[in-house]
Amino acid sequence: MHDRATDPIGAATSVTAATIEIMILLSIEVGIAQVRLPVEEKRSARLSSHSRASPRDGYDTFTPCAHPFRWQFLQAICNKGDYNSLLKHQKTVMKDDNLQSIAKKLVAPGKGILAADESSGTIEKRLKSISVPSTEENRRAYREILFTTKDAGEFISGVILFDETIRQKTRDGRTFVKALEEQRIIPGIKVDKGAKAMANFPGEKITEGLDGLRERIAEYRQLGARFAKWRAVITIGDNIPTRTCIDANAEALARYAALCQGGDLVPIVEPEVLMDGTHTIERHFQVTQETLESVFHALYEHRVSLEGMLLKPNMVLSGKDCPQQASVQEVAEATVRCMKRVVPAAVPGLVFLSGGQTDQQATEHLNAMNQLPDLPWQLSFSYGRALQAPVLKAWKGNQANVAKAQQAFHHRAWCNSKARFGKYTEDMETAKAAA
C-alpha cells in the first residue's frame, strides 16, 4: 500500500488502477445484463406459475430491469477495498454461464446421453443375462465397446459413468474420460449411493449419498466429470407413494443439485416414478405430476439455477402389468401435458430415462413427443437399457463380436437421434445407420 503523504504518486497510481479494475468489472456486468435481458424477458413470458426463477441468480422477481446487479455487488464497490467479494461475484457469474453452456451441449439437437453408470449389482445382472461373469476386466471391456464406438459422438452428447468406470482405461492405456473427450462426448458421473428401503415406509425407497458429497464432487470434477446424476425412485402401489416419501426424495435431489452447481457440475435431477405395477396411465400421470411439483418446489427453495440443470423424468406410461396399454400417441401426449404443467421453461432440456421399455418403444415414444407442437424445452434421451440391450445381445462376452456390438450401439444411437427431430420411422430398425 502507498501512503498518500510520503508516496503521492504511488497512491495515485493505486487509486487509478483500482478505479480501472472496477470500471472493467462494471462493464462486464453491464455487458452480461444486456445480453441476458432480452433472453430473460422472452423466457419469463413463457414461465408457468411454478417457474419463478431462483434467487441464486438475482432474478427473484419479474421486474423487467432484473439483471445481475446485486446488492452484494454494489456493496462490494462501496465497501472500501472489498475486492474479494467483487471477484467472488464475478466467479459465480462465470460458473453459472459455464453450467448453462454444458447443459445446452448435453441437449444439443440430434444428440442424447448414454447412461452407463450401472452400480456393481446392476451391471452384474446385465452381464449375467448374457452369461458373462461380472469381473472388473469384463465390466471394463464391455464399457470400452460403448465408449470407443466410432462416430458415437455424432449422436451421443454425454455418458454417465460409475465410480469404478471413471477411473478405468481403454486397452491402449487412455483413461475412459480421455477416450470420450476425443469423441467430443462429455463425461458425467453418478453420485448417489443408491435407493434404500425407507425406514417406517414399507415398499418405499429413499436415495442416500449426501454425506461427503461435496468432497466426492470435487474429486469427480478433477477426474474430468462435467455433469452428475442422482436418481430417486418413487413406487406406485396400494397406498403408496406417500407424501413423506415424495418430499424426502425431492429434498435430497435439491440438496444434491445445489452442491453440484457449487462444485461446477451440471446436475441431472432424476425422480423416477417406476412403471412397474398394474396402475393405469392416469395414475402414473397423477403421481408423476405430484412428484415433479415437489421436486421443483424443493429446487426453488434450495436456490438451484434452473438454467444450469437438466431434468431426467420418466415418461407417463401404463403400468407394465396393466391390462390396458396406452398407445404411442397417448403416451407422448400424456407425457408432454404432464411436463408442461410442472416443468419450468427455464430448464434447458428433459432427458428421459427408458425405465424398462424395449429399445424400440423408447425410441417411438421420444419420436412422437418431438412431433408435438410448442415444446418449450429440448426433449432428449438418457437411456441405459434402451441403448445397451442390443449391444449386450451382440457382444455376448466374445471379443470376436466387438465390431458387431459397436455397430448395434451406433445404430441404436442413430435411431434415437432421428427421434430427437421426430423423424424416426420403423423401417430404420433394419436400415443401416447413416449420419
Q: Which range touches ligand 13P (CB under 6 A), out of 54-62, 151-159, 191-199, 377-385? A: 377-385
Torsion angles phi and psi, residue 86, rounded to 5: -60, -50
Do 190 and 208 touch, CB atoms closer than 8 A? Answer: no
Among the listed residues 205, 229, 312, 418, the single catalytic one is: 312
Binding of residue 353 to ligand 13P (CB under 6 A): yes
Taking phi first (over 0 means left), then psi (-120 to 50 degrees means alpha), and beta for anything else, what does residue 277 get? left
Binding of residue 313 to ligand 13P (CB under 6 A): no
Binding of residue 115 to ligand 13P (CB under 6 A): yes
- Smallest separation, CB 110 to ligand 13P (Å): 19
- Smallest separation, CB 388 to ligand 13P (Å): 8
- Assign 390 to helix, strand or coil: helix
- Smallest separation, CB 164 to ligand 13P (Å): 16
Torsion angles phi and psi, residue 372, rounded to 5: -80, 150
Q: Which amino acid is at 368?
A: A
Find the binder of ligand 13P among 162, 227, 300, 383 (CB under 6 A): 383
- Smallest separation, CB 24 to ligand 13P (Å): 44
User: Mask of contacts with ligand 13P, 267-286, x by CB under 6 A?
Assistant: ---x----------------
Binding of residue 380 to ligand 13P (CB under 6 A): no
Q: Which range touches ligand 13P (CB under 6 A), out of 124-132, 177-185, 208-216, 379-387? A: 379-387
Place of cell 415444446: 375
Q: Which range touches ligand 13P (CB under 6 A), out of 1-9, 129-137, 245-253, 352-360? A: 352-360
The grid coordinates of residue 418 equal 432421428
Do 238 and 285 touch, CB atoms closer than 8 A? Answer: no
Q: In Å, how far are 183, 408, 432, 435 from 395, measured between CA atoms?
A: 22, 9, 18, 23
- Would you call 164 a catalytic residue per the annotation? no
Residue 98 or 356 with smaller CB distance to ligand 13P: 356
- Smallest separation, CB 311 to ligand 13P (Å): 13
Binding of residue 256 to ligand 13P (CB under 6 A): no
Torsion angles phi and psi, residue 116, rounded to 5: -125, 40
Q: Which amino acid is at 374?
A: D
Binding of residue 355 to ligand 13P (CB under 6 A): yes
Q: Chain-centre distance of CA 275, in angstroms? A: 21
Residue 76 or 185 with smaller CB distance to ligand 13P: 185
- Would you call 301 a catalytic residue per the annotation? no
Residue 93 or 389 with smaller CB distance to ligand 13P: 389
Find the binder of ligand 13P among 248, 386, 415, 419 (CB under 6 A): 386
Long-range contacts of 239-244 (CB under 8 A, 24+ apart): 240/201, 240/203, 240/204, 241/204, 241/273, 241/287, 241/291, 242/201, 242/204, 244/201
- Assign 344 to helix, strand or coil: coil
Q: Which of 259, 268, 263 is nearest to 211 (CA)?
A: 259
Query: Catalytic residue numbers?
Result: 270, 312
Chain residues that interact with ligand 13P, rule: CB under 6 A:
115, 231, 270, 353-355, 382-386
